[in-house]
Amino acid sequence: SNDTTSSADSEEQSNEMGSQSPQSDGAQSLETNDNNILNPNGESLDELKKILTDELGEKAFRATQIYRWLHVALCTSFDEMTNISASLREKLKEHFELSCLVKEQLQVSKIDGTAKYLFRLSDGNRIESVLMKYKHGNSVCISSQAGCRMGCKFCASTLDGLARNLLPGEMLDQIYRIQADTGERVDNIVIMGCGEPLDNFDNVTKFLRMISDENGLNISQRNITVSTCGLVPKIRELAELNLQITLAISLHAPNDDIRKTIMPVANKYSIEELLSACEYYFKKTGRRITFEYSLINGVNDSLKEAKELAERIKHINGSHVNLIPINPIKERTFKQGTQEEISEFKKLLEKYKINVTIRREMGRDIQGACGQLRKSYSEQETRTNDEKEEIF
């Protein structure tokens, strides 16, 4: 499981990138690295056309060719672009730095074939992505940030805070490198890896447009799920974009008191405000909401809480609850209830005619909960930035 990609990353770069201020890192209309060299991976076709015509004096159709090499053929170097002349390829190399994710580790489950990738970014940060094989197709879970600043108590991704937002190209490349590595098409995408996608709004929405672009991999938005801990104003902003993605809300509690003990974001937005944003999202997009509910024994998994949850969400149009037996992380004492407790919780929701599924545990024999693989890596290194920002 060695590198499959050639990458221009260098060791010097890995020290340069400290923690970026989350306030200043919104949309990056042009994707650049630290040296301000353009990285074409995250440029939309229109942006690429503009650069090629305005800055390089080339014809617009060249941009379409390059775009297809990058986003359909999944090339990692300009030399693979065989319908482009050698001289133009040299010119492109001068202007662009094609920087791709480097596969650093791959673990494949012997039980179900789930594959967990650890990728290294060009600045040395690491992220995880997971490929899950289902009967209905291949599903990839991608990260939207290196680390996370949401602080949910049960989650490994947030233990060291946020390193930085991922660029659109770095999200696309998680899909591309996995598809190239396996030779199999990715059918579904869930943004449920490290990070809070709506805390990296502009880059994530650009990613959503590019991955579903007919000039690229053309993955239907209906096959993409974005999971959020519930940043209310961003849910409303997303609703305005009228994308056809599925929105999943990490609810994890039937009331604000319990939610506050496990999710700091609950100090900022009440469940009432959150559910009202969900209704707005449905009204605008026609897309049903999925609620995620991680069952933590003795915290949120009693039948009293199941009833309270049902009462609270039953009126929300066609909503669906996905129960996730908590995946224990070694830094916390949270544990799973019994199979019977979990199925009683499910039955109670069903009595209220709520559509419920229990998330099947995938890849039990490889590193468990999200963020654990990345975390185990960062523990082996001395970190320069130990500062963690509290935002709620």
- Tokens 């809480």 -> residue: 305
Count of other CB atoms within 10 angstroms of residue 175: 22
Q: Say which of 43, 97, 128, 305 is annotated catalytic.
A: 128
Q: For this structure, is 361 an active site residue?
A: no
Q: How far is the CB of 365 from ligand SAH (least distance, A)?
A: 17
* Six token digits for residue 182: 């396996």
Q: Which is nearer to ligand SAH, 319 or 327 (CB)?
A: 327
Closest CA to 378 of 172, 120, 122, 141: 120
* Six token digits for residue 205: 């929405």
Q: How far is the CB of 324 from ligand SAH (least distance, A)?
A: 5
**CB of 166 closer than 8 Å to CB of 128:** no
DSSP code string of 152-179 = -TT-GGGTT-EEEEPPHHHHHHHHHHHH
Q: Which is nearer to ligand SAH, 122 or 157 (CB)?
A: 157
Q: Between vectors from CA 385 to CA 379 and to CA 389, what angle results, nearest 5°?
A: 105
Q: How far is the CB of 289 from ligand SAH (least distance, A)?
A: 12
Q: Which is nearer to ligand SAH, 159 or 310 (CB)?
A: 159
The residues of the shown chain that bind ligand SAH, judged by CB under 6 A, are: 150, 152, 154-155, 192, 196, 227-229, 250, 292, 294, 324, 326-327, 329, 369-370
Q: Is the alpha carbon torsion for 52, 69, 225, 371 positive or negative?
A: negative
Q: How far is the CB of 314 from ligand SAH (least distance, A)?
A: 20
Q: Rounded distance, CA 12 to CA 120, Å?
A: 14
Count of other CB atoms within 10 angstroms of residue 381: 9
Q: How far is the CB of 29 from ligand SAH (least distance, A)?
A: 25
Q: Which is nearer to ligand SAH, 31 or 292 (CB)?
A: 292
Q: For this structure, is 370 an active site residue?
A: yes
Q: Which is nearer to ligand SAH, 204 or 210 (CB)?
A: 204
CA distances for 55 relative to 52, 60, 70, 92, 314, angstroms: 6, 12, 20, 11, 55
Count of other CB atoms within 10 angstroms of residue 365: 12
Q: How many helices (H) and strands (E) does the chain have?
A: 12, 12
Q: What is the DSSP code (8-state) at residue 269?
A: S
- Over its C-alpha atoms, the chain yields an Rg (Å, rounded) of 21
Q: Which is nearer to ligand SAH, 49 or 287 (CB)?
A: 287
247: which strand partners? 226, 289
Q: How far is the CB of 263 from ligand SAH (least distance, A)?
A: 8
Q: Known catalytic residues? A: 128, 370
